[in-house]
Structure 1
Amino acid sequence: MSQNVYQFIDLQRVDPPKKPLKIRKIEFVEIYEPFSEGQAKAQADRCLSCGNPYCEWKCPVHNYIPNWLKLANEGRIFEAAELSHQTNTLPEVCGRVCPQDRLCEGSCTLNDEFGAVTIGNIERYINDKAFEMGWRPDLSDVKPTGKTVAIIGAGPAGLACADVLTRNGVKAVVFDRHPEIGGLLTFGIPAFKLEKEVMTRRREIFTGMGIEFKLNTEVGRDVQLDDLLKEYDAVFLGVGTYQSMRGGLDNEDAPGVYDALPFLIANTKQIMGFGETADEPYVSMEGKRVVVLGGGDTAMDCVRTSVRQNAAHVICAYRRDEENMPGSKREVKNAREEGVEFQFNVQPLGVEVNANGKVCGVKMARTEMGQPDAKGRRRAEIVPGSEHVVPADAVVMAFGFRPHSMEWLAKHSVELDSGPYYRPGRQRKRLPDQQPENLRRWRYRSRFRSGGHRDCRRS
């Protein structure tokens, strides 16, 4: 890096420019322009190479951030890409969609006084540039083991597992019901955050590594789990969380009330030219007054999608104040720029319907912040007598997700618990063939982790 140890003073943090608002508000394209070579090198040079790199420890996958920042600054792109892939299966995705302001950049030593190093955008630059220059994972030293594993789910967990298995000589075959890999990366995250060509390129890279994909293939319908257990040495489950959490509101099943995930998935499929399904019908918000309930990044995806669909007005309603909002501050800022109205400290009580039974508003009550809950977040307490109605033609509920039940999985004594996990069935007598030895069940929680006992992100 530069010999000037005070480079971070001479050169301030610079984020890549955004596309013009007039484009952002109508097109589903990534809003950030990529760094140029000069910008990436200069911003990487701001890194202090801390002896105790908080950025690395705050990162869920513990990326070697200072190391590949140094390589980027020196123009050693292939080496930087190789290093970033040692800890992360999809670094070009993380560079785009991870909430860096809450993770690596939020813990950067420079953050409070000088502005954090632009870690995410440099990560994106490193890997996009390396792919453009022809870099691909080197598997020349990998020795085949003769083992094969069926992976159910082509989302982040399944892809990470396939990547690690392939690097260790195990043949990975990935099954997924969708027409493209990526799971919610492809179909849940809108293209203005992650353009779909990113995952198309990644599929080509994985295929070149020897990973086999069987898309448009649903377990339990097109192929049976029993057959996979017979054919493969092991089966990995990385099926994602597709069950929307509901609010228990009056009239939440009325026409005009939508769950966030089916809304986002159907919109992406429509853009990609794939057909809609009965459980994920395409919904257009054009000309409608839209109220999105929730304060996380999924809520931000819904409000910003509604803007691009030419909604008449879009409101994000959240029961706590802005400080306690779980969504990325960057995403909130982007949504505001694009015309979204935020209403904080409002608790939804029910959905209002007209004489035809269709949505006409959301009954709300104002809240004030009380004592912290078990997680340290202040509770939202309803202010008596503050009920009011917010007019709406469409309501989107973005309250989070849980694992969805699957009959074919339950037959093998794998059940859902009360949290975000699958677990073995309750302690009861099972026949030996009820849970075959080669059925691998891992818990999963974070984007690139699938396993209570095994971490598929690192080899």
Structure 2
Amino acid sequence: MGKPTGFLEYEREEAKATSPKERIKNFNEFHEPLSVDKQKCQAARCMDCGVPFCQNGKVIAGMVSGCPLNNLIPEWNDLLYNGNMEQAYNRLHKTNNFPEFTSRVCPALCEKACTCGLNGDAVSVRANEHLIIENAYEKGYASAKAPHVRTGKKVAVIGSGPSGLAVADQLNKRGHSVTVYERDDRIGGLLMYGIPNMKLEKHIIDRKVNIMKEEGVTFVTNTNVGKDVKAADILKKYDKVVLACGSRHARDINAKGRDAKEIYFAVDFLTSTTKSLLDNGKLVDGTYVSAKDKDVVIIGGGDTGNDCVGTSIRHGAKSVLQLEMMPKAPDERAANNPWPEWPRICKTDYGQEEAIAVFGHDPRVYQTTVKEFVKDKEGNLCKLILVKLEAKKDEKTGRMNMVEIPGSEYEVDCQLVLIAAGFLGSEDYVTKAFKVDTTPRTNIATMPGKYATSVENVFTAGDVHRGQSLVVWAIREGRDCAKEVDESLMGYTNL
């Protein structure tokens, strides 16, 4: 342990964020990292506790506590503090293929389980991870390392999100020849088009993809397997196939007037903005769904809803309202939600901070949903009828459901609705093309803890397997799937 008394000597210090009114002028990342010396002091706060819940990654009270990748956090905190940066990178990269992604977009389950956070502020694990990986790129530790021997086995990975990339990275390191198919024009899946630049600038993805290309991974874009290419042809060409095509079947809001113009799914809205920025270097009229000068209502209170808030404000929205069906979470841990459980507390994210700065109030409205989309004579959305909700117990099932409160309807102006209500599961044209069994939730079915599907030589990983989840879980699924694929190819695995 580098500094046994570090957690007593140093207070938690975080990277300074650009002020909300300044950062909304562009779509860039907006945190200024601490200096190396200051970040080393933050690493010194790690207690090297006897039971490192931070790297546990287990379910406690129905929620995951700690890192799903089982990152060796106390080890690389200690190495960072002592200045052994190359070894810190080696220990970090041993369990995490893409710390450049997770250090930017992961909600840091590790920090929520940090022992130091029991009676104070948690260790800034994610920021420590960020310094280690960015230093590794600067010093060349993260450069391409192609395998010396090839096995002659060929694997196709369908989908280039974090799970598909993790599968490809692992199997390529083992010496298999891997081809990744992506239906969009750029590699990255939801990393590229589902997460805005403010959280993950796209050159960060390209940097890693270029390294993977140097290491021998082949990427094929603008190719929609199951439509442009037949599943039978893929199965004939490759020894194994991994379906890592995500969970893009968006949950809809089926209220009266749903056919009105200017109602979009959040992922399509975010994609259009990112694509315009990448294609044109800026937002160009007609190339993206614009929120400029519009009253925007976002249906959904999660991370994607928050991203829509921040993006709409950068467009120049007239107003932004964010609807949440559930009640507001407490500001502090409740007695029935003790550490090291995941804290069920209210979080004000960057988009909401920006809305407060621009409009003077939090955009979120709780226990509310849309009852009707109101159209004008041309079919354009002009208003919404909202209704308040309350929790009631279903006498048959015993479950608590959110139901309308009679007479609580009210009207708001609205010219753009963004539906950020989550995803229902896989898009069935892929599962039907490969004839794999699915669960009632339309995820691809496997045996518990396994990744082989009902079809010989076809495996699966990521959201299409487990349902909508976090980037860190997608990476874990990809790594575990790659291990199973490798063993089926070689008879054993050293992954």
TM-score over 0.5 for the pair: yes
Q: In the TM superposition, what is the alpha-carbon distance from 1:326 to its structure 2 partner?
A: 8.9
1:12 aligns with 2:31: no
- Is this contact kept in 1: 2:292–2:315, CA < 8 A? yes
Which residue does the alignment assign to 2:456?
437
In the alignment, the residues of structure 2 paired with residue 399 and residue 415 of structure 1 have an alpha-carbon distance, to the nearest angstrom, of: 26
Q: C-alpha deviations, 1:117-165, integer Å up to 9, x for none?
A: 1111111111011111111367577532211101111111110101110
* TM-score between both structures, scaled by the size of structure 2: 0.81
Which residue does the alignment assign to 1:429?
none
Change (3 A) 1:121 1:83: same
In the alignment, the residues of structure 2 paired with residue 9 and residue 384 of structure 1 have an alpha-carbon distance, to the nearest angstrom, of: 55
* TM-score between both structures, scaled by the size of structure 1: 0.87
In the alignment, the residues of structure 2 paired with residue 303 and residue 37 of structure 1 have an alpha-carbon distance, to the nearest angstrom, of: 33
When the two chains are superposed, the root-mean-square deviation of aligned CA atoms in Å is 2.9
Equivalenced residues, count: 440
In the alignment, the residues of structure 2 paired with residue 453 and residue 152 of structure 1 have an alpha-carbon distance, to the nearest angstrom, of: 16
Change (3 A) 1:124 1:385: same
Q: In the TM superposition, what is the alpha-carbon distance from 1:29 to its structure 2 partner?
A: 0.7
- Is this contact kept in 1: 2:262–2:380, CA < 8 A? yes
Residue of 53, 68, 72 corresponding to 2:76: 68
Q: In the TM superposition, what is the alpha-carbon distance from 1:367 to its structure 2 partner?
A: 2.8
- Is this contact kept in 1: 2:170–2:479, CA < 8 A? no
Residue of 188, 199, 215 corresponding to 2:194: 188
- Is this contact kept in 2: 1:250–1:351, CA < 8 A? yes
Change (3 A) 1:60 1:330: farther
Q: C-alpha deviations, 1:258-283, integer Å up to 9, x for none?
A: 111111111111111079xxxx9720
Which residue does the alignment assign to 1:97?
105
Which residue does the alignment assign to 1:431?
none
Change (3 A) 1:419 1:139: same
Change (3 A) 1:145 1:274: farther
Residue of 380, 387, 393 corresponding to 1:365: 387
Residue of 235, 243, 268 corresponding to 2:249: 243
Unaligned runs of 5+ in 1: 425-434
Which residue does the alignment assign to 2:128?
122
Q: In the TM superposition, what is the alpha-carbon distance from 1:377 to its structure 2 partner?
A: 10
Q: Map 1:328-347 onto structure 2 (within 5 A).
A: 329-331=348-350, 334-339=353-358, 341-347=363-369
Which residue does the alignment assign to 2:63?
none
Which residue does the alignment assign to 1:432?
none
AA in 1 matched with 2:166: A
Q: C-alpha deviations, 1:12-37, integer Å up to 9, x for none?
A: 11110012323321211112122321
Residue of 326, 344, 352 corresponding to 2:374: 352
- Is this contact kept in 1: 2:388–2:404, CA < 8 A? yes
- Is this contact kept in 1: 2:426–2:442, CA < 8 A? no
In the alignment, the residues of structure 1 paired with residue 35 and residue 428 of structure 2 have an alpha-carbon distance, to the nearest angstrom, of: 46
- Is this contact kept in 2: 1:26–1:310, CA < 8 A? no
In the alignment, the residues of structure 1 paired with residue 139 and residue 83 of structure 2 have an alpha-carbon distance, to the nearest angstrom, of: 13
AA in 2 matched with 1:402: L
Which residue does the alignment assign to 1:430?
none
Unaligned runs of 5+ in 2: 57-65, 331-343, 447-453, 468-472, 485-493
Comparing 217-226 with 191-200, which one deviates more in the overlay?
217-226
Which residue does the alignment assign to 1:51?
50
Q: Map 1:339-418 onto structure 2 (within 5 A).
A: 339=358, 341-369=363-391, 379-407=401-429, 409-418=431-440
Q: In the TM superposition, what is the alpha-carbon distance from 1:314 to its structure 2 partner?
A: 0.8
AA in 1 matched with 2:267: L
Residue of 436, 442, 445 corresponding to 1:423: 445
Change (3 A) 1:328 1:153: farther
Change (3 A) 1:358 1:333: closer
Which residue does the alignment assign to 2:20?
21
Quote the sequence identity (%).
33
- Is this contact kept in 2: 1:449–1:455, CA < 8 A? no
Comparing 333-342 with 114-123, which one deviates more in the overlay?
333-342
Q: C-alpha deviations, 1:60-104, integer Å up to 9, x for none?
A: 11111111111111122221122111111211111111112xx11
In the alignment, the residues of structure 2 paired with residue 143 and residue 389 of structure 1 have an alpha-carbon distance, to the nearest angstrom, of: 66
SS of the residue aligned with 1:357?
coil
In the alignment, the residues of structure 2 paired with residue 274 and residue 176 of structure 1 have an alpha-carbon distance, to the nearest angstrom, of: 22
Q: C-alpha deviations, 1:325-353, integer Å up to 9, x for none?
A: 89854446544455452212222222122
Q: C-alpha deviations, 1:374-413, integer Å up to 9, x for none?
A: xx99753433321111221111111111334353641432
Q: In the TM superposition, what is the alpha-carbon distance from 1:357 to its structure 2 partner?
A: 2.3
Which residue does the alignment assign to 1:145?
151
Comparing 109-118 with 157-166, which one deviates more in the overlay?
109-118
1:448 aligns with 2:475: yes
- Is this contact kept in 2: 1:295–1:327, CA < 8 A? no
Q: In the TM superposition, what is the alpha-carbon distance from 1:452 to its structure 2 partner?
A: 12
Which residue does the alignment assign to 2:276?
270
Q: Map 1:149-160 onto structure 2 (within 5 A).
A: 149-160=155-166
Change (3 A) 1:383 1:353: same
In the alignment, the residues of structure 1 paired with residue 223 and residue 379 of structure 2 have an alpha-carbon distance, to the nearest angstrom, of: 38
AA in 2 matched with 1:448: I
- Is this contact kept in 1: 2:20–2:354, CA < 8 A? no
1:304 aligns with 2:310: yes
Q: In the TM superposition, what is the alpha-carbon distance from 1:371 to its structure 2 partner?
A: 6.2
Change (3 A) 1:322 1:331: farther
- Is this contact kept in 2: 1:82–1:137, CA < 8 A? no
Change (3 A) 1:361 1:326: farther
SS of the residue aligned with 1:35?
coil
